[in-house]
């Protein structure tokens, strides 16, 4: 059976006064029913724009979208707006980062969910939609749903609001659920509950899930596959086991080494990625990560600065990375890193200077 | 909610008392402080070249010899309970007698209210519908010719005074092309058709001024709300764009509009002075102008109190509406 969602060479560019922002520049992946894809990256790496692009929500912001997004075989890029609107909320649904600002402050949560249901089922009576809404609220773990259905968003706690958002997203049994940093705005204790809830509901509804996050812990817990994005481009793509077990891209190494781990000695230092993410208007030539990369010298010549590395499978099928390093070199470097050895230059002054090249700066 | 309304109504009485006291002080206390005598004050009310006897007579009648707080107390008492005056009974609310014609102020003033009410309410409906519609379209078509044109016209609307646009309108549509000839106020009870027809020009002229303001406010509010996360959610739900705009965005953008609308309407009910003067319609505005020209203090006091009353009530209604519009606001 064909995958539920296929994204091929997706590019989303915004024309701004400062120049062309290449927010997403050549992203491809596919997602089967019942599976979870984690999209990981720093702020401004194009994760959210990708997800909004799939939902067709970049509209009105002078976005130019090219490439292919096929949902159940249906091409969405360039499709009729009313057709995409028809799919939105029905076949594909989305939950957002901040549940308070994402719910309309003036309407009861029940009415907002009822509206979402009836928008796609005009024949359903208000009464039936209300029953369904209360049932959904119960399933996402809202206590006393028959009472809470008539409350306003400000009367809920942060975690409960996100549960409401999830109920709203799932009310029409969508086949694809996109969760854009669903736990970022929540307390740590609540985060785990929400992730468990999403995971439980996924197995109950059989939806495919795209989990967008900058938190590797979140994707580790939930994802089958992981796409690591950098500067609007895919850096590495593979199964969760591969990405965590034998990552192949220096950027992924950086993300993993900068994450505290309980199975390491407390004295082990965290290694930050030097520098800041590049401006998407002036993405560095060649590999977009090269100004911040510690391994450019291991690649012959100035290839990293001039030649864009293609995303290609190196060792394991289905596990691809966009890096000029040879497979052997990657294996050697990762072995050193995972043994807990801090790279020699991690504290050297040169590391930061490398990131201070003009192309690497955010526009002020 | 009910407690809130009752509390506010009691507050209203106190504010009106305060307004009355301040107005009273301006007209009766300040001249005294400046050295004016009771005799001198009374002189102003008896016409030109009065005999001393007549002035003394007026001084007695008006009670200028009594302490000010007694005068004020009598004034308030008359409003609440009415009073006998020179053999006449002046029922509550008795705001005293006009110097001009020795008639009670209240009935004269209240007979002018329908005129102002007709002008203000009609114009308010026009400017609210027109301003909000133009504002919404402008926000949606931001940067287009429509947006720029309507915002320029709006700027003109805000800048041009009513007596200018009013006179132009009269010249064009009453004299040059007599679509609305002989504009004058006709009571709605007398002839509803003529009432509406004669009010069209004042409505449009007055609404033009306010619609401009409201269009700009609505546009700004809409642009802000359209960027809210919950609008993105509404779209993500797959709602039709019209539902997103009207039910989700406009609803939120309207809240500040309601606030300012209440104040504007309350202010206008106290007298649409320029509009009434321009179109020679005798409402509270013209009443006020004449009262001031005649230095008719009882009339000025009365119309000040009435205007204050309108504004306070409008404010109260705004506050109540607010809690209906925004469920987060609770009293």
What digits encode the pLDDT tens for the residues B183-197?
A: 888 888 888 998 999
Residue B51 counted as domain residue:
yes
Q: Do A89 and B236 touch (CB under 8 A)?
A: yes
Residue A314 counted as domain residue:
yes
Tell me the CATH number at B145: 1.10.3720.10
Top mean-pLDDT range of A245-254, A276-285, A300-309, B322-331: A245-254
Same domain, B174 and B82: no
pLDDT for A350 beyond 60: no
Residue A134 counted as domain residue:
yes
- When pLDDT is averaged across residues B234-262 and rounded to a whole number, the result is 92
Task: Assign B18 a pLDDT band (cuts: 50, 70, 90).
Answer: very high
b (16+ CB within 10 A) / e for A20-42: ebbbbbbbbbebeeebbbbbbbb
Angstrom distance (rounded) from CA A185 to CA A158: 8
Residue B156 counted as domain residue:
yes
Range(s) of the domain holding residue B180: 106-325
Q: Do A152 and B327 touch (CB under 8 A)?
A: yes
A62 touches chain B (CB under 8 A): no
Ramachandran quadrant class, B167 (left: phi over 0; alpha: psi -120 to 50; beta: rest): alpha
Q: How many domains does chain B have?
A: 2
Q: Nearest-5° angle of CA A58, CA B243, CA B213?
A: 90
Same domain, B134 and B84: no
Residues in chain A: 364
Q: Do B240 and A102 touch (CB under 8 A)?
A: no
Put simply, whether the predicted model's pTM sits higher than 0.90 gets the answer no
Residue with more model confidence, A9 or A364: A9
Q: Do A119 and B239 touch (CB under 8 A)?
A: yes
Upstream peptide bond of B64 is cis (omega within 30 degrees of 0): no
| ipTM, interface predicted TM-score of the complex | 0.85
User: Token digits for B228?
Assistant: 């809210």
Largest CA distance in chain B: 86
pLDDT for A360 beyond 60: no
Angstrom distance (rounded) from CA A327 to CA B55: 113
Chain A hits for B234, CB-CB cut-off 8 Å, are: 104
Boundary (domain end) residue, out of A169, A202, A220:
A169
Helix (H, G, I), strand (E, B) or coil at B276: helix
Chain B hits for A51, CB-CB cut-off 8 Å, are: none
Chain B interface, best mutation among A63, A79, A105, by max B CB count within 10 A: A105
Cβ atoms of residues A164 and A156 within 8 Å: yes
Task: Assign A59 a pLDDT band (cuts: 50, 70, 90).
Answer: low
Measured between alpha carbons, how far is residue B98 from residues B42, B114, B116 in Å?
Answer: 14, 20, 20
pLDDT at A357: 43
Residue A176 counted as domain residue:
no
B236 closest CB neighbour out of A55, A86, A101: A55
Chain A hits for B232, CB-CB cut-off 8 Å, are: 57, 96, 102
Measured between alpha carbons, how far is residue B210 from residues A213, B13, B147, B160 in Å?
Answer: 48, 30, 18, 11
Cβ atoms of residues A191 and A6 within 8 Å: no
Angstrom distance (rounded) from CA B64 to CA B87: 20
Cβ atoms of residues A27 and A36 within 8 Å: no
Residue B7 counted as domain residue:
yes
Boundary (domain end) residue, out of A169, A190, A217:
A169
- When pLDDT is averaged across residues A11-40 and rounded to a whole number, the result is 91
Residue A234's nearest CA partner among A346, A352, A313, A335 is A313
A98 touches chain B (CB under 8 A): yes
Boundary (domain end) residue, out of B54, B69, B94:
B94
Residue B200 counted as domain residue:
yes
B229 closest CB neighbour out of A86, A98, A154: A98
pLDDT for A353 beyond 60: no
Residue A26 counted as domain residue:
no
A57 closest CB neighbour out of B232, B241, B251: B232
Residue B44 counted as domain residue:
yes
pLDDT for B158 beyond 50: yes
Q: How many domains does chain A have?
A: 2
Measured between alpha carbons, how far is residue B201 from residues A32, A354, B126, B163 in Å?
Answer: 67, 72, 12, 12
Averaged pLDDT of chain A: 86
pLDDT for A354 beyond 80: no
Ramachandran quadrant class, B47 (left: phi over 0; alpha: psi -120 to 50; beta: rest): left
Query: Is B288 buried (19+), middle (13-18) or exposed (0-12) by CB count in 10 A?
Result: buried
Task: Assign A42 a pLDDT band (cuts: 50, 70, 90).
Answer: confident
Residue B100 counted as domain residue:
no
Cβ atoms of residues B298 and B99 within 8 Å: yes
Question: Which residue bears the tokens 């406009």?
Answer: B250
The DSSP secondary structure of B19-35, one letter per residue, reads: HHHHHHIIIIIHHHHTT
Residue A322 counted as domain residue:
yes
Range(s) of the domain holding residue A161: 107-169
Same domain, B76 and B50: yes
Angstrom distance (rounded) from CA B100 to CA A187: 74
A115 touches chain B (CB under 8 A): yes
């Amino acid at each position: 059976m064909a995958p539920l969602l296929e994204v091929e060479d997706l590019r989303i560019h915004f024309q701004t006064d400062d120049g062309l922002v290449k927010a997403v520049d050549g992203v491809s992946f596919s997602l089967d029913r019942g599976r979870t894809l984690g999209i990981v990256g720093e702020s401004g790496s194009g994760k959210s724009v990708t997800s909004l692009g799939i939902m067709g929500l970049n509209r009105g912001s002078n976005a130019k979208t090219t490439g292919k997004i096929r949902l159940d075989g249906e091409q969405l890029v360039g499709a009729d707006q009313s057709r995409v609107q028809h799919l939105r909320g029905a076949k594909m649904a989305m939950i957002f980062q901040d549940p308070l600002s994402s719910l309309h402050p003036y309407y009861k949560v029940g009415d907002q969910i009822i509206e979402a249901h009836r928008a796609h089922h005009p024949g359903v009576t208000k009464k039936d939609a209300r029953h369904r809404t209360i049932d959904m609220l119960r399933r996402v773990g809202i206590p006393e749903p028959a009472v809470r259905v008539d409350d306003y968003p400000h009367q809920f706690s942060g975690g409960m609001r996100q549960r409401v958002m999830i109920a709203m997203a799932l009310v029409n049994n969508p086949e694809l659920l996109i969760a854009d940093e669903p736990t970022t705005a929540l307390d740590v204790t609540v985060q785990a509950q929400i992730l468990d809830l999403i995971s439980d509901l996924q197995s109950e509804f059989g939806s495919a899930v795209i989990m967008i996050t900058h938190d590797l812990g979140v994707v580790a817990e939930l994802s089958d596959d992981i796409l690591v994005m950098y500067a609007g481009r895919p850096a590495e793509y593979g199964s969760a086991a591969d990405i965590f077990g034998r990552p192949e891209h220096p950027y992924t190494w950086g993300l993993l080494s900068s994450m505290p781990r309980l199975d390491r000695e407390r004295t082990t230092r965290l290694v930050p990625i030097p520098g800041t993410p590049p401006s998407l208007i002036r993405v560095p030539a060649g590999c977009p990560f090269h100004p911040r990369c510690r391994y450019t010298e291991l690649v012959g010549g100035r290839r990293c600065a001039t030649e864009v590395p293609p995303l290609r499978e190196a060792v394991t099928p289905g596990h691809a990375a966009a890096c000029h390093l040879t497979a052997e070199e990657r294996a050697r470097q990762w072995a050193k890193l995972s043994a807990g050895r801090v790279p020699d230059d991690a504290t050297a002054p040169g590391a930061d200077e490398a990131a201070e090249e003009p192309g690497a700066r955010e526009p002020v | 909610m009910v407690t809130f309304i009752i509390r506010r109504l009691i507050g209203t009485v106190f504010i009106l008392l305060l307004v009355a006291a301040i107005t009273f002080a301006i007209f009766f206390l300040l001249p005294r402080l400046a050295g004016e005598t009771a005799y001198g004050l009374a002189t102003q009310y008896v016409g030109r070249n009065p005999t001393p006897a007549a002035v003394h007579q007026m001084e007695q009648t008006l009670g200028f010899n009594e302490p000010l707080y007694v005068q004020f107390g009598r004034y308030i008492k008359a409003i609440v309970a009415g009073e006998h005056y020179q053999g006449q009974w002046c029922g509550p609310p008795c705001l005293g007698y006009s110097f001009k014609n020795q008639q009670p102020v209240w009935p004269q003033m209240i007979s002018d209210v329908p005129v102002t009410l007709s002008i203000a309410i009609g114009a308010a409906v026009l400017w609210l519908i027109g301003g909000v519609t133009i504002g919404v379209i402008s926000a949606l078509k931001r940067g287009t010719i429509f947006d720029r044109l309507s915002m320029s016209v709006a700027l003109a609307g805000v800048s041009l005074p009513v007596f200018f646009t009013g006179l132009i309108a009269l010249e064009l549509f009453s004299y040059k092309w007599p679509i609305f000839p002989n504009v004058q106020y006709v009571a709605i009870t007398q002839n509803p058709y003529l009432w509406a027809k004669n009010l069209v020009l004042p409505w449009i002229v007055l609404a033009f001024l306010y619609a401009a303001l409201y269009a700009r406010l609505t546009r700004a509010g809409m642009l802000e709300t359209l960027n809210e996360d919950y609008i993105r959610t509404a779209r993500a739900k797959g709602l039709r764009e019209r539902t997103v705009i009207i039910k989700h965005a406009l609803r939120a953008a309207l809240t500040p509009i309601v606030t300012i609308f209440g104040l504007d309407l309350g202010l206008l009910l106290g007298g649409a002075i320029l509009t009434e003067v321009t179109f020679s319609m005798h409402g509270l505005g013209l009443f006020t102008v004449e009262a001031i020209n005649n230095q008719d203090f009882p009339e000025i006091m009365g119309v000040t109190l009435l205007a204050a009353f309108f504004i306070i009530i409008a404010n109260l209604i705004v506050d109540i509406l607010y809690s209906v519009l925004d469920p987060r606001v609770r009293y």
